[in-house]
Structure 1
Amino acid sequence: MPLTPRTVAPRARITPSRRRKAAALLACAVSVCLLAASAPAAPLGVGDRLFPYLGNPGYDVASYDLAFTYPGTNSKPLQAVTTIDAWTTTSLDHVNLDFAHGKVDSVEVDGEPAAFTSAGEDLVVTPEGSLPEGSWMRITVRHTSDPVSAADRDGGWIRTADGLAMANQADVAHLVFPCNDHPSDKAMFTIRVTAPKGYTAVANGLPTGVDRAGRATTWTYRTQHPMATELAQVSIGRSTVLRRSGPHGLPVRDVVPTKDRALLEPWLKKTPDQIVWMEGKVGPYPFETYGLLMADADTGFELETQTLSLFERDLFTEPGFPKWYVESIMVHELAHQWFGNSVSPRTWSDLWLNEGHATWYEALYAEEKADRPVEARMKAAYSASDRWRAAGGPPAAPKAPDPGQKISIFRPNVYDGAALVLYALRQEIGRPAFERLERAWVNRHQDGVASTADFVELAEEVSGRELGGFFEGWLYGAKTPPMPGHPDWKSAAPRSAAVK
């Protein structure tokens, strides 16, 4: 997925764990100026089982234009303008946007001033007239975009040693900019960042312009493929951008603290070969560029932001992490560019498709490059699987996030627990059919969204077999089914059951 847990003890077997504090920032109220309210405002959502108020019905976003002005310190709000172009899918008297943790100065709809107010974590916009179904609308919001404090680093703007970076997964992009904050509504992005002299700004996609005016510089980037809001990335810092070529001339650019350029280069130069390895497994890289953003920050996770994955600098500089482990985590985030980014989840309950696949290719890379057998890792996962299911739910029906910790859906059941499902599927239908399925999945749903039901349907199509019973147990069962080909594998009972 997005937020990849790191092991606390790097020499131990890789199992998902977290080092992050509670998401206190998500309890912050929306700070907006009330211009008018002609009718009661209420927060809406697209009905996601895990995040009921995330996203908004009634429109489909085509593009975002984000403009941020960095004040030269990461402790003060950025001035921002967000422009959203969208089609209405029903007649709308009000338009709900997800937005929190910022102050709204004004809103326009199609160039005309619009009233606005807040409701929960929604910004509710009331245009002068209703918007008919099938109409094109442009919403422009002038607002602040506030970095989180050091204690509240669960997401949104992350403070680095020399600036800022973004970490918007899963329910956090709306802490940075107004949006339809659900992965089912992907859109094109243009991102403009203005910063004082001495800073460098990098964002998703390819650069389209650098404009200098006095002591400030504005960088502009555009995506060439649609992107979910939770995958947006902006880096602002005293950074150096390193460029190299990947397979087929793919532009590879890395963003590193200037002082660490030589220190990090031995790791960064591995990326082109890792892309070649992934292409050999699932097909062509799906985007216009790729690279690593090395943040001098303590986040506790790595994040697969589209075309520019976020990594903690210390992952590469801490001598306790084995080389094979670091490389496999690099591949985990790279694999997400296919699984989770190009093919995004239709709902957050489909998260296992992101994290299970990224964990699967992380493990496969470690097997092929470092002699760390997949079977041994999967046997260990099988042993823990019943405990994971009891704690977090089955892979395709994860339990709701813990109160006040919206990112707690990222539990072991959707990492190694979901990779275990893929291993079982390979055992069930055979390696050739499984490998055809993987290629067909990312090809058929490229640049789109897909669900667990879509994966099951394609698996049956590719294998020529009815797999409903197989998937029912592996994806939704409270207990882990027997492993095909390994009837001797056992899963330890959850602690609560073991004492009965």
Structure 2
Amino acid sequence: MPLLRTPPSRARWLRSAVLVAASAGLVAAALPAPQPLGIGDPLFPELGNPGYDVLAYDLDLTYTGVNTEPLAAVTRIDALVTADLERINLDFTHGTVSAVSVDGLPAAYATADEDLVVTPAVPVDAGERVHIVVTHTSDPRGPASAGGWVRTTDGLAMANQANAAHRVFPSNDHPADKAYFTFRVTAPQTLTVVANGLRTGRVRHGATTTWTYRVTHPMATELAQISIGDSTVLHREGPHGLPVRDVVRTADRELMEPWLARTPGHLEWMERRVGPYPFETYGVLVADASTGFELETQTLSLFERRLFADPRYPRWYVDSVLVHELAHQWFGDSVSPRTWSDLWLNEGHATWYEAVYAEENGGPTLERRMKAAYAASDRWRADGGPPAAPDPPTPSHQISLFRPVVYDGAALALYALREEIGDDAFRRLEHRWVAGHRDSTATTADFVALAGETAGRDLTAFLHGWLYEKKTPAMPGHPDWRSDPVDTAPDTVKPG
């Protein structure tokens, strides 16, 4: 989608208005001190911003080759204004802003907590399209647990989930506001740059190269990915001619190839269960870094190198982790959560398909895994809340949101639903869910309603117990299953 520029006539009108006001000696009423805003997410109340809908981001970054130095950056945002605004709040922190313009005119700006608060020269009105340009730095330094840039042994990658994209670039950093992205990254010509979507340009400028990538489907900010490093890009073909490209350290090409060659088969396996792959490309990014997790960044999933290099991991396990992140392309990326409390829809489904794949390829049976999850379910709920109403994360450790209850605890709810409505209805529900909400956002209430419609009966009360109650309901078809006492030590699960 091309960037939406403000028509020249409007820009001229704005300049005229400013000049006329200045010559007449008019002084606008003083605005209150800048304040951080949010859209009231139950878990991240100050994340996101009201009053506009981002249509497109254009990110321009320059990397010097040293991953402990800030990158020079320009972020361009095209947005549709949905309410009259004297100020525009953007989520941004961990970078230095040097200039902001709105529709071509310089704008005042200030920081308030983790918001960049922009005051346009002329207020913007509901129904208008606005073009914002922020010149800033993007700082890769800081603890890995904070998210954003991930420093690798040969460069950089990104891990923005759940609320860290605004540590990289100014944005409306909430999955409810998906947008189209263009990435333009300049790096030393000895390095390779890969980002979400398809490459649309590569231009050499002496000792540097500028790489351009664009996505063809809307994307949540937390799913943005840029890889910069001494990398090799491996190309192969997936189902229906889908271009598959994997990014690995050049030194690891032979080590990774046996794993990466399996991706087309994984894609075929998922398509048989939920329908066509929803994006323009897919691939695996293997980073030589310690993150503690894998991540489903859209069209280019991030994995730690040690997952593939450690011989202690059995083949079925590594394959099932690859399928977990691939499943997220449907559940979480194409169909994104409306609020972060809907996270179970992402992780529960990805865990479900991970577990089904493991059962078919030498791992534990699905029933065995779900019985174990049932035993732990009351403990998980006591520790972190029920699947669809998880407790807020620890403020200093945001990925603490990714608890067992939203992984196996949520997959357990799906298992109960399948036991209740039967395998055929469950499969139809999965197909309808990803097809009906493709490139959009959806809520738990949407899923409950579609489940009832697919099954031909109201499932609200049934699913309420599995998704919202403190105690785990009885499992249909398994009256002998029991949950352990809640004072047993809780389990842990890595995010992904």
Tell me whether the two structures share a fold, i.e. TM-score over 0.5: yes
Q: Please show how residues 390-405 of structure 1 align to structure 2 within 5 Å.
A: 390-405=382-397
Map of 1:337 onto structure 2: 329
Question: Aligned equivalents of 2:231 and 2:137: distance in 1?
Answer: 24
The answer on whether the counterparts of 1:401 and 1:409 sit within 8 Å (CA) in structure 2 is: yes
The answer on whether the counterparts of 1:388 and 1:413 sit within 8 Å (CA) in structure 2 is: yes
Q: Please show how residues 458-497 of structure 1 align to structure 2 within 5 Å.
A: 458-495=450-487
1:425 to 417, 424, 427: 417
The answer on whether the counterparts of 2:144 and 2:291 sit within 8 Å (CA) in structure 1 is: no
Question: Aligned equivalents of 1:466 and 1:108: distance in 2?
Answer: 52
Q: Work out which of the two has the higher radius of gyration on C-alpha atoms and give 1 or 2.
A: 2
Does the residue aligned with 2:247 lie in a helix, a strand or coil? strand
The answer on whether the counterparts of 1:71 and 1:195 sit within 8 Å (CA) in structure 2 is: yes
Question: Aligned equivalents of 1:185 and 1:154: distance in 2?
Answer: 22
The answer on whether the counterparts of 1:171 and 1:407 sit within 8 Å (CA) in structure 2 is: no
Q: Is it true that 1:104 corresponds to 2:97 in the alignment? A: yes
Does the residue aligned with 1:302 lie in a helix, a strand or coil? coil
- Equivalent AA in structure 2 for residue 249 of structure 1: G
Shift of 1:472: 1.1
Shift of 1:496: 7.6
Q: Deviations over 1:402-422 (max 9, x none)?
A: 131112110000000000000
Map of 1:25 onto structure 2: none
Shift of 1:372: 2.3
Question: Aligned equivalents of 1:400 and 1:217: distance in 2?
Answer: 43
% same residue: 67
Q: Is it true that 1:182 corresponds to 2:174 in the alignment? A: yes
Q: Is it true that 1:125 corresponds to 2:106 in the alignment? A: no
Does the residue aligned with 1:131 lie in a helix, a strand or coil? coil
Shift of 1:368: 1.3
Q: Cα 1:82–1:376, aligned 2, differ >3 Å: closer, same or farther?
A: same
Does the residue aligned with 2:79 lie in a helix, a strand or coil? strand
Q: Is it true that 1:52 corresponds to 2:45 in the alignment? A: yes
Question: Aligned equivalents of 1:204 and 1:359: distance in 2?
Answer: 23
Q: Please show how residues 289-438 of structure 1 align to structure 2 within 5 Å.
A: 289-438=281-430
Q: Which runs of 5+ in 1 are unaligned?
A: 1-36
Does the residue aligned with 1:217 lie in a helix, a strand or coil? strand
Map of 1:251 onto structure 2: 243
2:128 to 130, 135, 138: 135
Q: Deviations over 1:110-153 (max 9, x none)?
A: 0110000001100000001110101000000000000033x444
Map of 1:114 onto structure 2: 107
Map of 1:226 onto structure 2: 218
Q: Which runs of 5+ in 2 are unaligned?
A: 1-29, 491-496
Shift of 1:497: 12
The answer on whether the counterparts of 1:293 and 1:311 sit within 8 Å (CA) in structure 2 is: yes
- Equivalent AA in structure 2 for residue 241 of structure 1: V
Question: Aligned equivalents of 1:104 and 1:354: distance in 2?
Answer: 34
Q: Deviations over 1:191-221 (max 9, x none)?
A: 0110012100000000000010110000000
Does the residue aligned with 2:163 lie in a helix, a strand or coil? coil
- Report the more deviating stretch, 425-434 or 401-410: 401-410
Question: Aligned equivalents of 1:152 and 1:431: distance in 2?
Answer: 41
- Equivalent AA in structure 2 for residue 455 of structure 1: F
Cα RMSD (Å) of the superposition? 1.2
Question: Aligned equivalents of 1:148 and 1:494: distance in 2?
Answer: 40
1:454 to 443, 446, 454: 446
Does the residue aligned with 2:126 lie in a helix, a strand or coil? coil
- Equivalent AA in structure 2 for residue 351 of structure 1: L
Question: Aligned equivalents of 1:236 and 1:405: distance in 2?
Answer: 26
Does the residue aligned with 1:301 lie in a helix, a strand or coil? coil
Q: Deviations over 1:355-414 (max 9, x none)?
A: 000000000001112252100000000000000000000000000111311121100000
4+ runs deviating over 3 angstroms? 151-154
Question: Aligned equivalents of 2:231 and 2:489: distance in 1?
Answer: 52
Question: Aligned equivalents of 2:230 and 2:250: distance in 1?
Answer: 6
Question: Aligned equivalents of 1:42 and 1:155: distance in 2?
Answer: 24
Question: Aligned equivalents of 1:99 and 1:444: distance in 2?
Answer: 33
The answer on whether the counterparts of 1:58 and 1:92 sit within 8 Å (CA) in structure 2 is: yes
Question: Aligned equivalents of 1:279 and 1:466: distance in 2?
Answer: 28
The answer on whether the counterparts of 2:69 and 2:141 sit within 8 Å (CA) in structure 1 is: no
Q: Cα 1:120–1:154, aligned 2, differ >3 Å: closer, same or farther?
A: closer
Shift of 1:493: 1.6
What count of residue pairs does the alignment treat as equivalent?
A: 461
Map of 1:271 onto structure 2: 263
The answer on whether the counterparts of 1:148 and 1:156 sit within 8 Å (CA) in structure 2 is: no
2:84 to 81, 86, 91: 91
Shift of 1:39: 3.5
Map of 1:237 onto structure 2: 229
- Equivalent AA in structure 1 for residue 413 of structure 2: V
Does the residue aligned with 2:330 lie in a helix, a strand or coil? coil
2:56 to 46, 60, 63: 63
